[in-house]
Amino acid sequence: MSNLIYPTTNFKATETLTIERGDGAYVYDNEGNQYLEGLAGLWCTSLGYNNRELIDTAAEQMGKLSYSHMFGGKTHQVGMDLADKLTAMVPVENAKVFFGNSGSDANDSHVKMLRYYFNAIGKPEKFKIIARERSYHGVTVAAASLTGLPPNHTHFSLPFDALGVLRTDAPHYFRGALPGESEAQFVDRIVNNLEQLILKEGADTIAAFIAEPITGASGVIVPPAGYYEKVQAVLNKYDILFWADEVITGFGRTGNDFGCTTVGIEKPALMTLAKQLSSAYMPISASVIRGDMYEAMIEPSSQVGVFGHGYTYSGHPVAAAVSLKTLEIYERDNIFAHAAKVGEYMQKRLGEFRDHPLVGEVRGAGMIGAVEMVSDKKTGAGFEGGAVGYFAMQACQNHGMITRAVAGNSLAFCPPLIVSEAQIDEMVEKLGKALDETLDFVTREGLIAA
């Protein structure tokens, strides 16, 4: 047992698997066992493992400029080039880019920049942020407060009220619909709830609404058709900014450049990027804001003498170089188109489990999906706790595939974007065996309806 404090881990179940190396879509443990990487690490290793171009790019940049900060007017070309490349890609108007190290700190930076901006334009009371139930936006104090998952809140005494965090409905029809309610009626109801929340709090106190286009850690929730169009109409009505958290859905994951494109979110004012920005080969994130927001902050920063926010590793030259090469590979090798094609196949294959007696819902888009297990297929009733999800996750691992149990008892799938249809078949075969074993387990334990 080492002296590590492990992230997002049960401290009574540490060091259960030691990963030693990776190659392509596979990783290998210290006993030589091979695993298909069904979650792309943590939704991030888009180009798989042991990509020599990315490795050589990192080595070359280390030899040229291993580190340089961006404080006090200093810069470097590779950082500027990456910002310009992202500006040309994102659907944010006249985008400006701030670099960090993780999705969590990027969202934290956005919270601060929102406050800075509204102070700059004379609206200091406009600082509240609407986040959704069953959302995930990170684990810093601010990002964890935006997150809507109990395990990320319990025991941490987070300052929800001080940060002005408001909570609205998760757009999950399967779990949130009332009896007899259609998808369209469900959307109208929860969007009306959003508008009533705005009216109750006062639109002049609310800065932004944050949403993952398609959620990740909360169970891969794909909102019903029309949801985002109606949400944006409400936000525009009350002059509230749309903040798209694309940490998981950005860069081809949903079969398009960004999740916003897939689900119909138009011109968000803020966008958060990380993970697949560098295929996870180097830690890097980007907080993207509209150009007019940046312009409003120039004079106040001059009056103070500095924009008093930044990280030692903001725009790290090695991370920036690897990210630029990653974006080049995406474009050169048509990775997004490949992800769309193989993603369609993946959704079709996962859909074959809809008739499995343990499965309540299969959902996803492109190369991200989830299979939710239920105790009663007729009613959709879920299992108490997360023991069933954990059992299924371990069963997948025993069959040579790494996945993750999310939202209690859903298995998430998010393989590297480079996988083939044959590897999707392998993934589905392993999942089938794991689900059958899990069904045997819940039957023996009397956890499933007869």
pLDDT at position 450 over 80: no
Digit-coded pLDDT (tens) for 180-193: 999 999 999 999 99
pLDDT of the residue at 25: 98
pLDDT classification of 120: cutoffs 50, 70, 90: very high
| Topology annotation, domain 334-444 | Aspartate Aminotransferase, domain 1 (3.90.1150)
**Residues with Cβ within 8 Å of residue 250, at least 6 apart in sequence:** 257, 258, 259, 271, 273, 274, 275, 276, 277
pLDDT tens-digit readout, 210-262: 999 999 999 999 999 999 999 999 999 999 999 999 999 999 999 999 999 99
- DSSP string covering 235-270: HHHTT-EEEEE-TTTTTTTTSSSSHHHHHT----SE
Under the banding of pLDDT at 50, 70 and 90, the label for residue 118 is very high
What integer pLDDT is reported at residue 365 of this predicted model? 98
Q: What three-state secondary structure class fits 44?
A: coil
Check residue 1 and give its pLDDT.
Answer: 82
Q: What is the pLDDT of residue 372?
A: 98
Q: What are phi and psi of 311, to 5 degrees?
A: -115, 150
Q: What does pTM read for this prediction?
A: 0.97
Query: How do residues 264-276 score in pLDDT, each as one tens digit?
Result: 999 999 999 999 9
Please, what is the average pLDDT of the chain?
98
Integer Cα distance of 339 and 256 in angstroms: 8
pLDDT band at 403 (very low <50, low <70, confident <90, very high): very high
Mean pLDDT value of segment 86-110: 98
pLDDT at 263 over 90: yes
178: which DSSP letter?
P
Contact 443, 435 (CB under 8 A): no
Q: What's the CATH fold of domain 54-332?
A: Aspartate Aminotransferase; domain 2 (3.40.640)
Amino acid at 5: I
Tokens of 297: 């902050």
Q: Is the pLDDT score of 4 beyond 90?
A: yes
pLDDT digits (tens, 9 = 90+) for 340-385: 999 999 999 999 999 999 999 999 999 999 999 999 999 999 999 9
Q: Identical fold at 54-332 and 334-444?
A: no
pLDDT, tens digit, 9 for 90 and up, residues 122-173: 999 999 999 999 999 999 999 999 999 999 999 999 999 999 999 999 999 9
List the structure tokens of 171. Answer: 């757009």
Percentage of the chain beyond pLDDT 70 is: 100
Domain ranges of the chain: 54-332, 334-444
Structure confidence at residue 408 (pLDDT): 86
Residue range 15-47, pLDDT digits in tens: 999 999 999 999 999 999 999 999 999 999 999
